[in-house]
């Protein structure tokens, strides 16, 4: 909890205590010194304490200097006060009469509950801290954050570094801060953290529609802030395909789960439908949805979202020319021979199972070849068992820092991404800039990035023979490899950081 937030709480408690003390002093003085009827004195004392409390909370606790809003705030504040009295009475009745609490304990509990409720209402609905209009502030809710590896981590770090240069203040709240807590509790706590940090933000920007999207939407509604959403994939589909039965069947028999397009048109089990409805609800209530590819735009439209609300802003990254040579990286990593690298979360649709089978065949054609798989996930153990059973030369590195992953990609002869789903791969973009030739699938947003035979080689998902032929052609044809990497580097430059930031600024500042 930030020091600023703590100081607001202290001022809130102190203001309420002072106002209560004043009401009691007025009551005592009117009755004792001026012989005013006690009910009249009680009313006068209540009004004196009420007006003092309102003034302190508005001007001192929440530092809301707006004059034009004073009258409606006063009316709303009075309504909250009456509501707090009714809530106190209800809690006392329930705790004392129904649950047999000692009345003093019940009153303490009721006071604490009312203090929390009124604090949230005062800070989010009635009073707003005055701030200048020359700079907007954005709170980014993200599931992953640097040094974690993944699209949201890279993207949120980029915005944190770049937006302040364009008069946009940025605060990033990673879900990792609460991830180790129990499920329901961690989402509630994350929601409270969003309330705390979103209090002074102009908008909340969630980087997924469920894990951080739901609490961010609720916080934005409560705080009356703009709510923006980034959709980089179909969360409900991903969760459905990661069920244990699919993971096991897929690894054993190459069981085919539904494609994302098929998923939009069918009904599934209750839990999947619930996740889908939550995802759709959050998307439909976002002011603007940002997607990284035209392909994903078509998917989100299927959710019932208006086309006008969806903005395509392609992924970008800070392109840095690689200084180390392939040989120096190999020496640094302790690898030799022919090296294929693949990376991603170890889940069924990433196609690692079929890629391991390809490696078992490639060893017959390319002696000394090895596959390095970077990443972790629920399929890790089963994939390791399969590689041993097939005697495929596969090394599993586990999750890597982005800098270490870049070293492996730079040391590779070929990068293969046999994926059954990809909204728009930030990983492919980084590989293109590195200068390592790419073999990947004609799936999702890949075709918007990779042009077959020009910036890479495209194959059908899980077509093991096609993958094998594509890898061999790159290993044997220096001219093809050179042409692909040269064009890929040029294409990567078009996904500039400035282009992406300027497109986002148009959304944030409208």
Q: Looking at residue 75, what is its pLDDT?
A: 84
CA–chain centroid gap for 237, Å, is 17
- Beta carbons of 462 and 357 less than 8 angstroms apart: no
Which tokens belong to 171? 């605060």
CATH of domain 326-493: 3.40.50.2000
- Beta carbons of 225 and 204 less than 8 angstroms apart: yes
Q: What is the DSSP code string of 159-215?
A: HHHHGGGGTEEEEEEEGGGTTTS-HHHHHHHHHHHHHHHHTT-SEEEESSSSTTHHH
Q: How far apart are CA 435 and CA 277, in angstroms?
A: 42
Side by side, the strands of the sheet bearing 310-312 are 168-174, 136-142, 203-206, 226-230, 288-291, 310-312
Q: Structural domain boundaries of the chain?
A: 3-126, 136-316+499-508, 326-493
- Beta carbons of 223 and 193 less than 8 angstroms apart: no
Comparing 136-316+499-508 with 326-493, is the CATH topology the same?
A: yes
> How far, CA to CA in Å, does 330 sit from each of 9, 127, 409?
56, 60, 10
Stated pTM of the model: 0.66
Q: Domain 136-316+499-508, what architecture?
A: 3-Layer(aba) Sandwich (3.40)
Longest distance between any two alpha carbons in the chain, whole Å: 106
- Beta carbons of 410 and 340 less than 8 angstroms apart: no
Q: How far apart are CA 332 and CA 313, in angstroms?
A: 36
Q: Which residues pair with 171 in a beta bridge?
A: 139
241, burial (CB in 10 Å: exposed 0-12, middle 13-18, buried 19+): buried
- Beta carbons of 485 and 437 less than 8 angstroms apart: yes
Neighbours of 420 (CB within 10 A): 21
> How far, CA to CA in Å, does 256 sit from each of 260, 269, 349?
12, 17, 9
Q: How far apart are CA 16 and CA 49, in angstroms?
A: 9
Residues 6 or more apart whose CB falls under 8 angstroms from that of 433 comprise 317, 319, 488, 489, 492, 493
Q: How far apart are CA 107 and CA 323, in angstroms?
A: 68
Q: How far apart are CA 118 and CA 116, in angstroms?
A: 6
Q: How far apart are the first and last CA of the chain?
A: 31
Work out the angle at residue 214's Cα, subtended by the Cα atoms of residues 195 and 316, and round it to the nearest 5 degrees.
Answer: 95
Q: Which of 380, 414, 378 shows the shortest CA–CA distance to 395? A: 380
Q: Looking at residue 41, what is its pLDDT?
A: 78
DSSP state, 441? E
Q: Looking at residue 439, what is its pLDDT?
A: 97
* pLDDT by 10s per residue, the chain, length 510: 456 666 778 888 888 888 878 877 888 888 888 888 877 877 787 788 788 888 888 888 877 766 767 777 888 888 888 888 788 788 888 888 888 888 777 777 877 787 888 888 887 778 865 544 457 899 999 998 887 767 788 888 889 999 998 889 999 999 988 888 887 788 888 988 898 788 778 999 999 999 999 999 999 998 889 999 999 888 888 888 776 555 544 444 455 677 888 888 888 888 889 999 999 999 999 999 999 999 999 999 999 999 999 999 988 766 666 677 888 888 898 888 999 999 998 988 899 999 999 999 999 999 999 999 999 988 899 899 999 999 999 999 998 888 899 899 999 999 999 998 888 888 898 899 888 999 999 988 898 889 999 999 999 999 999 999 999 999 999 999 999 999 999 998 888 888 889 999 999 987
């Amino acid at each position: 909890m930030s020091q600023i937030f703590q100081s607001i709480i202290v001022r809130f408690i102190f203001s309420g205590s002072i106002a209560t003390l004043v009401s009691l002093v007025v009551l005592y003085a009117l009755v004792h010194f001026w012989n005013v009827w006690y009910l009249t004195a009680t009313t006068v004392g209540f009004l004196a304490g009420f007006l003092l409390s309102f003034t302190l909370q508005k001007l001192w606790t929440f530092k809301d200097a707006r004059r034009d809003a004073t009258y409606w705030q006063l009316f709303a504040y009075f309504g909250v006060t009456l509501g707090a009295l009714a809530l106190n009475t209800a809690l006392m009745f329930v705790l004392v009469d129904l649950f047999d609490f000692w009345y003093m304990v019940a009153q303490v509990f009721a006071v604490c509950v009312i203090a929390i409720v009124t604090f949230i209402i005062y800070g989010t609905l009635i009073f707003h801290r005055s701030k200048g209009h020359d700079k907007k502030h954005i709170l980014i809710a993200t599931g992953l954050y640097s040094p974690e590896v993944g699209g949201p981590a890279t993207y949120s770090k980029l915005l944190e570094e770049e937006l302040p240069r364009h008069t946009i203040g940025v605060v990033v709240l990673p879900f990792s801060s609460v991830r180790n807590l129990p499920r329901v509790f961690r989402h509630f706590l994350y929601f409270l953290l969003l309330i705390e940090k979103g209090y002074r933000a102009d908008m909340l920007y969630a980087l997924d529609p469920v894990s951080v999207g739901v609490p961010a939407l609720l916080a934005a509604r409560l705080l009356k802030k703009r709510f923006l959403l980034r959709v980089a994939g179909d969360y409900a589909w991903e969760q459905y395909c990661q069920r244990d039965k699919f993971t096991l069947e897929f690894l054993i028999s190459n069981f085919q789960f539904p494609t994302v397009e098929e998923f939009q048109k069918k009904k599934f089990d209750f839990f999947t439908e619930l996740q889908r409805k939550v995802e759709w609800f959050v998307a439909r209530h976002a002011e603007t949805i940002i997607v990284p590819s035209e392909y994903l735009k078509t998917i989100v439209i299927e959710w019932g979202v208006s086309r006008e609300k969806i903005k395509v802003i392609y992924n970008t990254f800070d392109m840095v020319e690689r200084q180390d040579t392939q040989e120096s990286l190999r020496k640094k990593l302790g690898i030799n021979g022919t090296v294929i690298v693949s990376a991603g979360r170890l889940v069924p649709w990433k196609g690692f199972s079929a890629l391991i089978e390809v490696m078992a065949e490639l060893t017959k054609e390319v002696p000394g070849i090895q596959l390095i798989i970077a990443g972790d996930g629920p399929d890790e153990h089963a994939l390791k068992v399969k590689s041993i059973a097939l005697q495929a030369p596969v090394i599993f590195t586990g999750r890597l820092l982005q800098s270490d992953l870049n070293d492996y990609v730079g040391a590779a002869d070929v990068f293969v991404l046999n994926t059954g789903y990809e909204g728009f791969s930030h990983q492919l973009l980084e590989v293109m800039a590195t200068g390592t030739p790419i073999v990947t699938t004609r799936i999702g947003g890949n075709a918007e990035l990779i042009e077959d035979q020009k910036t890479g080689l495209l194959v059908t998902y899980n077509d093991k023979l096609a993958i094998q032929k594509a890898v061999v052609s790159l290993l044997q044809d220096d001219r093809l490899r050179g042409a692909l990497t040269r064009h890929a580097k040029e294409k990567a430059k078009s996904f500039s950081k400035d282009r992406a930031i300027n497109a986002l600024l148009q959304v944030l500042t409208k």
